[in-house]
Structures are given as C-alpha cells and as structure tokens.
C-alpha cells in the first residue's frame, strides 16, 4: 500500500533463494509456499497486477530488476528471523550503494520484539510478565483495504515459472494436504471469520481436545504472512464488541494469549538466536541423549504402540499439522520416554509441518525438553495414557488415525497392551503384528528419564 500510494508503477516481486546461511524450508512448508504463491498470483491478476518470480541471488536479482524498470525504491515486509534480519540489512546496504531506497515495514508481529523489555531493560524470559507488559499497550490498527486497481508498469518484466522453484514433493506424500488446507489470503480470512464468529467463545474449553476443531488453524497462514496478528485482533474485537464484550476481555482472552505466545517466541528468537541449535539453559548441553535410529523411526512413523502418540504422528504425516495438545504429548514422549535429543523432534517437525516456524518450533521443543525459557520442568513427564484418556477419551481421534484399533472399546483404546487376549482378538488386533507392542514401558521410561535428569544436575553441581 505504501508503494501504491507513491502513485508510481509497482512490480510485485518474489525471489527464491537458497542462501547457504539460511535454514532450507521444510518439505511441507514448501508445499504450502507453492500454493500460497499461486494464490497470491491469482489475486494480483484479478486487480491488474502480476507476480514476478525469479530464482537467484536476491542482491543481483534486485539490482538487475531495479535498473531495467528504472525503480528507485524497494518496499519489503520486515522479516523477524535473525538470518532474515541480517539479509535485509545487507540488501538495504547494497541497494543504498546504487541509490535505491530500502523501505521496510512491520506487520508480521504485533510489536517489534526489541521494544519489549522488563524493568531492568532486559528481554523477558517468562511469558506471563511479558504478556502482561506487552498487552497493556495493545491497540489494534484498522487493517488497510485490499487495493482495487494495480498501478502496472507499461511493460512487465519477465517472470520465471513457479515450477522452477521446485517446491512440490516428488512423491504423493502431500496428497491429503489440499483436502485440509487452502493456502492463500482468501483461505486465511475465511478461517478467521469462521473462528471469530463460531469458535472464539468456546476456545478456552475446546482447544485441548484434538477430536474437536476447536482452534483457529491459522498458524500456517500467519507464518506465511497471508494474515497478520493485527487483522486477527481486529476481527475478534469487532465480533466480540458486537456481541457485547468489552475490548479488554477480548484482549485478555485465552485465544489472544496464544497469539501472545507467538510474539513471545519471536521475542526469544531475536534476543537468543543461538536457541535454534542450542539449549537456552546451558546445563542441558551435557544431557545424556540417546541415539537410536530404530526408535526414532518408530516415533516418526507413528509405530510406538502408544495410540495417542501414533495418532498424532500419523495426523502430522497425512495433513502437515498436529493439534497443540498432541504436539506436547508426542514431544514429551520423544525427549523423555525415548530420551532423544529435542533437536531430532524439532527437525522432523520442521520438515513435516505446514506451519513450521523457526520461532514457534524452537520455543515449543525447548519448552517440552525443559531447557528453554519458561519451559515445563524436565521432571514434568506427560503420561501418554492418562493424557489420551483425558483429552481424547471418546476415542474418535485415535480411531480416526489408527484404523487398525477402530473396533477396540474406549476402555482399552488408550493402552491396548493392557487388554485381555480375547478382547484383542474380538477387535481383530494382533499386538506386534497389526499394531505394535509399546516400544518402552511407561513407568520404567519415566524412572530412566528422571535418573538421567538427576545425573545432569549433579554433573552441573560438580
């Protein structure tokens, strides 16, 4: 909009780069990105614009493009990952040297992460005071309208084709994704309207039950900038105020608090950039993680013998998404029951989540492992059986993703190995054949994990 307001022609440009210093997008994210760009391209065409795509080094693509189009400024939406930040800075310098202005705009977050500080001027490491301090100044800005006409140049520059970016997987792994997701701005806003109108009020109660579609499913839309947190806040406020709620109660709602966790994750990533690779709490550097590729593969494929864990991992593989409650259960299972390094889980999620996000994923895994900011203490070990009974008690979620257990009664569904031989036979299950035996014993795994934790702590004291 800022570029359009100059009254000069505007060329929408997307550059695909594989800068060696940046983390390559995961496979599921690339699927989303492909369809998101396709959708953006269509939206631009509809108002007389055109998305120009180029594969190459951003600095040279920009320099060539600016020269041939006689452009005098580049307008960008600011990136909030440390490497993006560094890249923006370097591009701004390079453009500056050839007399091209660099105009960078916020929007991806509600606050600039550097601006939120505690009383001693340091970054927050605990969520509640962060949110208390930040949300006090939260004022929604009226979102800008979508432009109705595009100020096109007389001649459009040539564009590479989207297929040159090579974003789609070579197998049919992504087959199920398009039945669940509609990447692009329209899909994002439809989701938001449905959520704000029908689900916002019940969110606090329903958000923990994976069989219910009780959450917004906006994470990938947010990650790819198809919607902004300000637009979400604005819509929730409008719907809420119309229904007689106060603005304060909307801002302080459980849902906006979750949007706040996303802000907190970006705050942490900017202030502690090494956490993508290393634990925030240094004592965890010496944690005796286990290496076991078979165990890891069982977890990745949803073959651990713990139904709630397997259901989650299969949902992830089939749809590129997993419910938050189940992310916590499978994460805890990997780092505590299987004693595997949280980075193994982080990498798998990175590759298979359509909403894979450096800030949220890093914080989520460090939270699970107990080594991050405001993290669950390591000794809080999720029990996959009681979690399943509590949050997936009616069995719908497990039956949906593990059809081989569909005929097992609810009472046995969460721990099938405890069922009698005749019950299993009646449900057509042969443990170890049609469905795996549990890869670890819950109680023994729990004790082993606590032991490993104690050893790490005593090493620290020495």
Ligand X SMILES: Cc1cc2nc3c(=O)[nH]c(=O)nc-3n(C[C@H](O)[C@H](O)[C@H](O)COP(=O)(O)OP(=O)(O)OC[C@H]3O[C@@H](n4cnc5c(N)ncnc54)[C@H](O)[C@@H]3O)c2cc1C
Q: Which residues bind ligand X (CB under 6 A)?
A: 207, 215-219, 222-223, 258-259, 261-262, 265, 324, 327-328, 331, 349, 353, 355-357, 360-361, 364-365, 368
Q: Identify which of residues 357 and 404 has a Cβ nearer to ligand X in the complex.
A: 357
Closest C-alpha to 287, from 120, 126, 448, 173: 448
Residue 54 tokens, joined: 């180029």
Q: Identify which of residues 150 and 200 has a Cβ nearer to ligand X in the complex.
A: 200
Q: How far is the CB of 232 from ligand X (least distance, A)?
A: 8
Contact 26, 167 (CB under 8 A): no
| Residue with the two structure tokens 């396709």 | 38
- Concerning whether 365 is annotated as a catalytic residue, the answer is yes
Buried-state track 186-206, b at ≥16 Cβ within 10 A, e below 16: ebbbebbeebbeebbbebeee
Q: How far is the CB of 299 from ligand X (least distance, A)?
A: 13
Q: How far is the CB of 114 from ligand X (least distance, A)?
A: 19
Residue 400 tokens, joined: 């949906």
- Concerning whether 181 is annotated as a catalytic residue, the answer is no
Q: How far is the C-alpha of 309 from the C-alpha of 306, rounded, in Å? A: 6
Q: How far is the C-alpha of 208 from the C-alpha of 251, rounded, in Å? A: 20
The DSSP H or E segment spanning 54 is strand 52-55
- Concerning whether 111 is annotated as a catalytic residue, the answer is no
Residue whose C-beta lies closest to ligand X: 364
Q: Identify which of residues 27 and 222 has a Cβ nearer to ligand X in the complex.
A: 222
Contact 218, 227 (CB under 8 A): yes
* Strand bridging mode 101-105 / 73-77: parallel
Phi/psi of residue 125, each to 5°?
-120, 5
Q: How far is the CB of 307 from ligand X (least distance, A)?
A: 19
Residue 103 tokens, joined: 């105009």
Among 299, 350, 365, 367, the one annotated catalytic? 365
- Concerning whether 190 is annotated as a catalytic residue, the answer is no
- Concerning whether 150 is annotated as a catalytic residue, the answer is no
Q: Identify which of residues 309 and 328 has a Cβ nearer to ligand X in the complex.
A: 328
Contact 234, 194 (CB under 8 A): no
Judged by DSSP in three states, 253 sits in: coil
Q: How far is the CB of 445 from ligand X (least distance, A)?
A: 19
Q: How far is the CB of 442 from ligand X (least distance, A)?
A: 20
Q: Identify which of residues 15 and 328 has a Cβ nearer to ligand X in the complex.
A: 328
Q: How far is the C-alpha of 385 from the C-alpha of 398, rounded, in Å? A: 12
Give the rounded distance of the alpha carbon of 19 from its chain centre.
22
Q: Identify which of residues 252 and 423 has a Cβ nearer to ligand X in the complex.
A: 252
Q: Identify which of residues 353 and 419 has a Cβ nearer to ligand X in the complex.
A: 353
Among 185, 324, 389, 417, the one annotated catalytic? 324
| Angle ∠(303,305,310) on CA atoms, nearest 5 | 55
Among 289, 351, 396, 417, the one annotated catalytic? 289
Q: How far is the C-alpha of 178 from the C-alpha of 167, rounded, in Å? A: 15
Q: Radius of gyration over alpha carbons of the chain, in Å?
A: 24
Residue 246 tokens, joined: 């106060």
Q: How far is the CB of 20 from ligand X (least distance, A)?
A: 23
Q: How far is the CB of 263 from ligand X (least distance, A)?
A: 8
Q: How far is the C-alpha of 77 from the C-alpha of 123, rounded, in Å? A: 24
Among 31, 150, 261, 348, the one annotated catalytic? 261
Q: Identify which of residues 159 and 396 has a Cβ nearer to ligand X in the complex.
A: 396
- Concerning whether 342 is annotated as a catalytic residue, the answer is yes
Active site residues: 258, 261, 289, 324, 342, 365
């Amino acid at each position: 909009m800022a570029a359009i307001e100059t009254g000069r022609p505007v060329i929408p440009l997307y550059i695909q780069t594989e800068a060696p210093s940046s983390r390559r997008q995961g496979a599921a994210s690339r699927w989303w990105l492909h369809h998101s760009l396709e959708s953006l391209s269509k939206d631009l065409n509809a108002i007389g614009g055109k998305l120009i795509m180029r594969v190459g080094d951003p600095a040279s693509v920009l320099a060539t493009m600016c020269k041939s189009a006689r452009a005098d400024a580049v307008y960008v939406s600011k990136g909030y990952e440390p490497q993006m930040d560094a890249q923006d800075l370097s591009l701004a310098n390079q453009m500056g040297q050839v007399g091209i202005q660099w105009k960078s705009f916020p929007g991806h977050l509600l606050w600039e992460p550097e601006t939120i500080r505690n009383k001693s001027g340091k970054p927050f490491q605990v969520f509640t005071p962060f949110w208390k301090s930040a949300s006090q100044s939260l004022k929604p800005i009226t979102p800008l309208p979508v432009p109705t006409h595009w100020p096109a140049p007389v001649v459009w520059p040539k564009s590479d084709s989207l297929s040159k970016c090579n974003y789609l997987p070579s197998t049919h792994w992504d087959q199920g994704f398009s039945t669940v997701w509609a990447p692009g701005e329209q899909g994002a806003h439809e989701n938001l309207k449905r959520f704000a109108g029908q689900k916002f009020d019940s969110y606090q109660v329903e958000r923990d039950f994976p069989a219910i579609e009780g959450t917004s499913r906006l994470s990938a839309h947010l990650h790819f900038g198809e919607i902004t947190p300000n637009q979400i806040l604005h819509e929730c406020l409008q719907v809420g105020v119309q229904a007689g709620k106060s603005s304060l109660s909307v801002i302080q709602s459980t849902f906006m608090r979750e949007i706040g966790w996303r802000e907190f994750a970006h705050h942490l990533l900017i202030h502690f950039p090494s956490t993508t690779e290393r634990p925030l709490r240094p004592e965890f550097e010496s944690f005796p993680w286990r290496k076991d590729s078979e165990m890891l593969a069982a977890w990745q494929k949803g073959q651990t013998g713990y139904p709630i864990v397997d259901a989650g991992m299969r949902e992830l593989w089939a749809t590129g998404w997993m419910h938050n409650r189940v992310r916590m259960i499978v994460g805890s299972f990997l780092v505590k029951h299987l004693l595997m390094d949280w980075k193994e889980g982080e990498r798998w999620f990175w590759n298979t989540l359509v909403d894979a996000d450096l800030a949220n994923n890093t914080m989520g895994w460090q939270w699970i492992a107990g080594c991050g900011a405001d993290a669950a203490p390591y000794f809080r070990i999720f029990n996959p059986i009681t979690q399943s009974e509590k949050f997936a008690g009616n069995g719908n979620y497990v039956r949906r993703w593990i059809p081989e257990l569909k005929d097992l009664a609810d009472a046995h569904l969460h721990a099938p190995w405890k069922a009698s031989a005749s019950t299993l036979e009646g449900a057509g299950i042969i443990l170890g054949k049609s469905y795996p035996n549990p890869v670890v014993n819950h109680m023994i795994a729990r004790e082993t994990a606590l032991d490993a934790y104690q050893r790490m702590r005593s090493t620290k004291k020495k």
